[in-house]
Structure 1
């Protein structure tokens, strides 16, 4: 018997591993007081896109189907028009690069590097693992009083992102919850579903301690949608588990502190007695709407919102927020965006940009839901998982992002993860949803003789 090691071939090493490396890199601490420039994760994303391009050239195959090219390429139209109307060439160039990275190039690269459902599940579990790490850091910050400042107390869980990206940990943990819920509701092996349920429940603690109302709302809406898509029986079970988890968190573990209860209650007080953060947000929304009225078709140009903000905002705007804690000194953080992705696009890119960008997202969601319907039909006809877990993860990520964009926009190190999740969802919507999983084979393992992506997607 030969003791020689089996050589690693391109078929044994998944091409999605560089994307997993991007996810892992987001677990490293961010530089305190960073100004939101390029991060190591952004640089690695550029290498992933280059790696994907070289791989396509070596394989000499058509990169994307016609439908995938149209859906993923649609935002380019609005971005190009808005870049032409930017206040300066530098702003136009930097804005174009950022939007293309987040909404076109990285999602397309992730789509092309995922070979099958096994690669999809690997990337989904890596998101759960990153959420677990960031959540553990966040809980430690809350317990030890070393988090970001919240109402004068250093208790806000922000993970390794620091107070300069106060939404970073909440976004990462929410993505982990959505992935875990999708994996738990699918027809996967029992052990995997049990682990996924445990991860989802554990991640609810750091999500609560993030004090992020937008992330709470988006996660609750998404989990409800995932449960409904999985079927009535799964929806009832998920509801029962959620109620039980809430009782344990609030009562048994003491997570329901006065500040947390006050934060939850403030969700219903955004019109009656809004706090300053809500007032600032309303004022910024009104300013974005005013910019759109001035230039309804093309907007004021990429990265031009800060320049036009004061001309359209009322005196109720505080113009900056205070940030400190989690290893960073006190700092006044200027409010340079409306904290609403749809209004940011509408103000800077106009109706053309909003229709092309939001149209691309809605097309992905429609294709993902159609793929989910096919997966359920396959599971009923042939048995087995049928890719239902992948479908629920994809639909969940899209629903979460589209809901969260009502309260947030792109910016900060965690934005890279938005691009990765869009690519993950795009693979199912544009390629994986119509792929058959050969019977008698473990979920996610690729057939040895043929690359699943060689067959053109719809």
Structure 2
């Protein structure tokens, strides 16, 4: 309003004006009204790029769930709800494309391997000793290994979508790793070796392996993005992402998760060897030097990390590591259950019902947890802590064959993706995909699904399926 404008007056409202409803503020929903242009534009944007919702699924994993029981039969998190929204969104888009005559949206190989997993778990649920109990297991496995991976695969259209989800993995790892390091330095983590120094991030003492999984995913995603930036000639971005990937070694170390250590070392080795052998050797030298400085020089958990590594094979003697001996006893238990039910297993979610009848006498009743804001509790051992043995005991040879076909197809396809990138003169994103998949397959030797980060397994499988069953565009600066 300028000085030449006439003064504004507010006239008295007439009876008709007073009877009219006041206009709704911008962005406010009016019952019965059609969505405003802003909401319609946002919905169209989400439909065009559903990978944003997949990235949100990753970030929502970091939302604290308190000290809830992660071993409960039904444990739904914010990330689970978002993943179901992603499935619904991609299903709607796929149905619309089919109705418009777009044909099949999934490659035939993807349809074959994911259908095999669905058939295997359905057969095990039908032949279960308690089909009603196995129904929740059937739903969970279908969500984790079929529906959400397919939705992630359908949400990826180009390398921008892939970078978005990898960036979300890095962001989640930075958040959880930062919280974990703070817990280690201030002694506010989970209980470990007489103290409360075990880094668990926002997941609490009842889910001590969750933070290490998130940090491992982020480390590998940052490494892949750094390799891509290096191939494209973006030196500053490559250096920054490489240093960020290396910095995640510290929160991973103070998580004291032996399975994550082994899986991360194997995954980084696979990714670098398939990308550049000389770079792999330089990376090994740099990692050893950083370990000497951080652990040997600064003393950041050196004695504890060394003792934790040496405990992997400590199952005998006067002071055996009970967590290790219990895990090996659970493996034996799973094998005995399978021998009694070799074809379709005992059914999803049925391992706890058959555990005591097949377990060695020395198996503990549960593992002790405390710290990170929670009191002492004993978590029951409801699975064999080995995904392959869990599938074998609950789904038999039928289920294990289906899962083996899925994992083998993804692994071979991701390796081909890396070779395609190398031939086209680029590298990085394919290395990230095969690194994430290799981490998951190795980690399954020491862990299985369950807990807050289970939905991230689905995201990793969906990313690997994108590299295995599609032909990503060549890397470009």
If the length of structure 2 is used for normalisation, what is the TM-score?
0.86
Q: CA RMSD in A?
A: 1.9
| Separation of aligned partners in 1, 2:302 and 2:291 | 13
Structure-to-structure mapping, 1:68-79, within 5 angstroms: 68-79=110-121
Contact 2:315 2:322 in 1 (8 A): no
Per the alignment, in what secondary structure is the counterpart of residue 331 of structure 1?
strand
| Separation of aligned partners in 2, 1:425 and 1:21 | 18
Deviation at 1:41, TM superposition (A): 1.2
Instruction: Identify the match of residue 69 of structure 2 among 10, 34, 41.
Output: 34
- Aligned residue for 1:116? 158
Segment of structure 1 superposing worse, 309-318 or 236-245:
236-245
Verify: 1:397 aligned to 2:397, yes or no.
no
Deviation at 1:134, TM superposition (A): 0.3
- Aligned residue for 2:329? 283
Instruction: Identify the match of residue 336 of structure 1 among 364, 382, 387.
Output: 382
Per the alignment, in what secondary structure is the counterpart of residue 238 of structure 1?
helix
- Aligned residue for 2:415? 369
- Aligned residue for 1:297? 343
Instruction: Identify the match of residue 421 of structure 1 among 456, 460, 463.
Output: 460
Deviation at 1:270, TM superposition (A): 5.1
Instruction: Identify the match of residue 85 of structure 2 among 47, 51, 73.
Output: 47
- Aligned residue for 1:435? 472
Deviation at 1:342, TM superposition (A): 0.5
Contact 2:50 2:89 in 1 (8 A): no
Distance 1:73 1:271, change over 3 A: farther
- Aligned residue for 1:18? 53
| Separation of aligned partners in 2, 1:394 and 1:130 | 17
- Aligned residue for 2:286? 241
Verify: 1:192 aligned to 2:237, yes or no.
yes
Deviation at 1:13, TM superposition (A): 5.9
Contact 2:365 2:381 in 1 (8 A): yes
* Cα deviations by residue, 1:249-280 (Å, 9 ceiling, x for unpaired): 11333213422221122235457774111111
Per the alignment, in what secondary structure is the counterpart of residue 154 of structure 1?
strand
Contact 1:33 1:328 in 2 (8 A): no
| Separation of aligned partners in 2, 1:251 and 1:278 | 26
Verify: 1:168 aligned to 2:210, yes or no.
yes
Q: Which has the higher contact order (CA 8 A, sep 6+)?
A: 1
Instruction: Identify the match of residue 347 of structure 1 among 385, 388, 393.
Output: 393
Per the alignment, in what secondary structure is the counterpart of residue 253 of structure 2?
helix
Deviation at 1:103, TM superposition (A): 0.6
| Separation of aligned partners in 1, 2:316 and 2:422 | 42
| Separation of aligned partners in 2, 1:437 and 1:226 | 18
Per the alignment, in what secondary structure is the counterpart of residue 274 of structure 2?
helix
Specify the structure having the higher radius of gyration (Cα): 2
Per the alignment, in what secondary structure is the counterpart of residue 428 of structure 2?
helix
Deviation at 1:43, TM superposition (A): 1.3
Contact 1:85 1:302 in 2 (8 A): no
Contact 2:128 2:345 in 1 (8 A): no
Gaps of 5+ in 1: 380-384, 444-458
Deviation at 1:22, TM superposition (A): 0.8
If the length of structure 1 is used for normalisation, what is the TM-score?
0.89
Segment of structure 1 superposing worse, 56-65 or 239-248:
56-65
Verify: 1:102 aligned to 2:144, yes or no.
yes
Segment of structure 1 superposing worse, 26-35 or 106-115:
26-35
Verify: 1:322 aligned to 2:322, yes or no.
no
Q: How many pairs are equivalent?
A: 426
| Separation of aligned partners in 2, 1:123 and 1:263 | 33
Segment of structure 1 superposing worse, 245-254 or 286-295:
245-254
| Separation of aligned partners in 2, 1:114 and 1:393 | 15
Deviation at 1:12, TM superposition (A): 10
Distance 1:247 1:50, change over 3 A: same
- Aligned residue for 2:246? 201
| Separation of aligned partners in 2, 1:76 and 1:29 | 31
- Aligned residue for 2:199? 157
Contact 1:135 1:206 in 2 (8 A): yes
